[in-house]
């Protein structure tokens, strides 16, 4: 008789916590979660293949993590593409009435749109946007085809 299966005792009672861990921080791996609940990696993988509800839990949590990552990326890229205002704080020592005092100055600054960020935003999010001229691409393909034919003819 072998060891008892830990699925019912170590995994099922912690479904919510496992989902939370796997949908949160990107640095947390399945192996980290398995170790936290005192389950070996091999057993963890076996449970994923033998228990559909566990597999779905993991897939859903990872999809949630990926969606959150994409939303952060979109938000950052849109902010960079549109430009934004920000406050910069600076500590300055001034001589006021013969006394040196430290003064905190705040400046509102504007970061203009970043063309590189706009380019990446279009390239990654708009499937209809093309970076390259289609005519140039077609000409390069024809040139490659002609060179291929030329090499095949010379081999005869």
Q: Would you state the torsion angle of the CA atoms of residues 70, 74, 76, 77, taken in this order, to the nearest 10 degrees?
A: 130
Cα separation, 11 vs 50, whole angstroms: 13
Q: Does 1 map to a domain?
A: no
Beta partners for residue 91, in sequence order: 104
The total domain count for the chain is: 1
DSSP, collapsed to helix, strand or coil, labels residue 1 as coil
Q: Domain range spanning residue 72?
A: 7-155
Q: Does 38 map to a domain?
A: yes
Cα separation, 140 vs 67, whole angstroms: 37
Tens-place pLDDT, residues 62-81: 999 989 888 888 888 888 88
Cα separation, 37 vs 10, whole angstroms: 6
H or E stretch at 53: helix 52-82
Q: Does 130 map to a domain?
A: yes
Q: Does 2 map to a domain?
A: no
Cα separation, 123 vs 133, whole angstroms: 14
Say what the pLDDT of residue 117 is. Answer: 78
Cα separation, 117 vs 76, whole angstroms: 9
Say what the pLDDT of residue 72 is. Answer: 85
Tens-place pLDDT, residues 115-128: 887 777 777 766 77
Decide if pLDDT at 10 tops 80. yes
- The more confident residue out of 12 and 1 is 12
Residue among 42, 31, 36 at smallest CA distance from 5? 42
């Amino acid at each position: 008789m072998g060891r008892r299966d830990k699925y019912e005792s170590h995994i099922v009672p912690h479904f919510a916590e496992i989902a939370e861990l796997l949908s949160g921080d990107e640095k947390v791996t399945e192996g980290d979660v398995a170790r936290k609940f005192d389950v070996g990696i091999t057993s963890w993988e076996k449970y994923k293949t033998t228990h559909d509800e566990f597999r779905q839990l993991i897939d859903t949590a990872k999809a949630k993590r990926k969606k959150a990552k994409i939303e952060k990326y979109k938000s950052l890229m849109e902010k960079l593409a549109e430009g934004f205002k920000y406050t910069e704080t600076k500590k300055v020592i001034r001589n006021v009435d013969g006394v040196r005092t430290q003064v905190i100055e705040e400046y509102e600054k504007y970061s203009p749109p970043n063309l590189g960020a706009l380019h990446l935003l279009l390239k990654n999010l708009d499937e209809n946007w093309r970076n390259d001229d289609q005519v140039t691409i077609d000409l390069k393909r024809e040139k490659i085809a002609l060179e291929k034919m030329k090499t095949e003819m010379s081999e005869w």
